[in-house]
Copies of this chain bind each other. A is one copy, B any other.
Amino acid sequence: MRTKINLISTKEMDTILTVTGWIKSVRTSKKFSFLALNDGSCFNSLQIVIDTNMPKYEETISLLSTGASVKITGKIVQSPGKEQSIELMAQDITVIGKCDPETYPLQKKRHSFEFLREIAHLRPRTNTFGAIARVRNALSFATHQFFQEKGFLYIHTPIITAADCEGAGEMFKVTTLDLENPPKTDKNNSEETFNVTDYSKDFFEKPTYLTVSGQLEGEAYACALSNIYTFGPTFRAENSNTSRHLAEFWMIEPEMAFADLNDNMDYAEEYIKYCLKYLLEKCPQDMKFFNRYIKPGLIDKLNNVINSPFERLEYTKAIEILKNSGKKFEYKIKWGSDLQSEHERYLTEEHFKKPVILYNYPKEIKAFYMRQNDDGKTVAAMDVLVEGVGEIIGGSQREERLNVLEEKMDQTRLDKENYWWYLELRKYGSVPHAGFGLGFERLIQFATGMENIRDVIPFPRYPGHCDF
């Protein structure tokens, strides 16, 4: 039996335990050698003390280098050191897997995040990326627990799709056709003859893509089961090489029937607070690390978010505030334009100094499915803006009135035939409903202060990068 390091406390004093893990560092002195042993169960390593008089000491210590895996049995004793209250006095050491110090890329020194991205298979062994994995895990489970407690059903919406949720956006194609020799078909119409790719030979017998959102399918389930949420991968084939975009990322999309925009804002705010609270409780060591080395003041910031109500502000009022701010912005502020990152940051970071929920956006800049307000100019959309990240949540009440939705689709030139089933949700027992999407990596960035989105997902995908 082996004991996980996170479970060892002063309660285990004087007991004999076996631990396994990887060596983070080795320090030797005359009478003792010290290992920092980590098994990933928590941020802190366990200090292992090895008496130089131990049998076969020389033979063993020569194999104990950073990165090596070991199994160690010994007694938990009080530590005289300042860094830890307990340590393990080794009685028996088995080296399981050696690690050549000459070639091992993770020596005990600082490595740039750029370098670590190139060894994404080893980076979870570092302090930062081990902590990110635990934070990501905690926020994932907090998500499930929050929605389960509220009676939401977790739904798996499809990844491969023939539809384009946003009616725009670049999508990845999914195919089994031979890219070297796509089958062709002669299509005759009255005008001329085309020679085009024959999708009837493709796996799904039509063009298919990777989903950009599970919302539309989520709506179908909400319109049967009231409250549902999705948590799955989504994709954007945009060629944006920035620290804010990934080609593959995870999204959480709750959808609530018999709910309006206010309910939507309530859920969004409660959900974010719940996640952050859970995280601070479950990962104190990891959060202390981020607070100290990645973003000073982080924990205070998160506590402030947890404890204060989010500012809720109509888009129109936000425009006024920005106009009256006396601040010089690169992009002009104009009612009807989308807010730029600099505007969003001013509102949340400088003006309100807390998360802001903007709502009732001009209809022209929002998606076709958002519910039209009575003013004829705005839709019941909302975005949650937070410090450092900007938009972390986007959502809306959905247009539940069949005729209004159809009109909107005609205006935006969407082919209603492709959305026959989506329209039927408005035909048979339609209900007011609302939902939002949270970019999971953005939440992790917000919660950890990590600047590059490529560093908060295990194996990031972005233009030119699909390694591992």
Contacts and interface: CB of A to CB of B under 8 A. Distances in A.
Interface of A: 2, 4, 6, 20-23, 39-41, 67-69, 71, 96-100, 103-104, 106, 119-122, 124-125, 130, 133-134, 136-137, 140-141, 144, 148, 151, 153-163, 170, 172-177, 179-180, 182, 196-197, 203-208, 210, 217, 220-221, 224-227, 232-233, 235, 237, 239, 247-248, 250, 257-258, 400, 421-422, 424-432, 457-459, 461, 463-468
Given A137-B155, A174-B174, A203-B463, A224 B429 contact: no
Contacts of A174: 172-174, 210
A253 to B, nearest CB: 13
Nearest to A420: B121
Nearest to A40: B225
A432 B96 CA distance: 8
Given A69-B430, A133-B221, A2 B258 contact: yes
Nearest to A141: B148
A428 B123 CA distance: 13
Given A22-B224, A159-B248, 6 more contacts: A99-B428, A137-B155, A159-B159, A162-B467, A179-B207, A204-B466
Nearest to A98: B429
B160 A461 contact: yes
A433 to B, nearest CB: 10
B162 A69 contact: no
Contacts of A23: 429
A274 to B, nearest CB: 16
A246 B430 CA distance: 31
A149 to B, nearest CB: 10
Given A67-B428, A121-B421, A467-B162, A157 B220 contact: no
Contacts of A158: 248, 458-459, 461, 466, 468
Nearest to A464: B205
Given A40-B225, A153-B133, A217-B468, A159 B233 contact: yes
Contacts of A172: 160, 174-176, 203
Given A140-B154, A203-B172, A226-B39, A430 B96 contact: yes
Contact of A121 (B97, B98, B220, B232): B220
B458 A67 contact: no
A444 to B, nearest CB: 11
A65 to B, nearest CB: 9
Given A40-B225, A203-B247, A458-B158, A22 B153 contact: no
Contacts of A180: 182, 196-197
A18 to B, nearest CB: 10
B157 A458 contact: yes
A398 to B, nearest CB: 13
A162 B466 contact: yes
Contacts of A39: 225-226
Contacts of A163: 468
The listed residue with most B CB atoms (<10 A of its CB), out of A136, A140, A154, A459, is A459
A151 B69 contact: no
Contacts of A182: 179-180, 182
B175 A466 contact: no
Nearest to A429: B69
13 contacts: A40-B227, A71-B258, A97-B431, A103-B427, A119-B421, A122-B428, A130-B224, A140-B144, A160-B247, A160-B461, A162-B467, A182-B182, A203-B463
Contacts of A431: 20, 69, 96-97
A23 B431 CA distance: 13
B463 A130 contact: no
Nearest to A177: B179
Contact of A461 (B175, B204, B465): B204
The listed residue with most B CB atoms (<10 A of its CB), out of A157, A205, A467, is A467
A59 to B, nearest CB: 18
B226 A258 contact: no
A457 B232 CA distance: 14
A381 to B, nearest CB: 22
Nearest to A126: B224
A8 B68 CA distance: 58
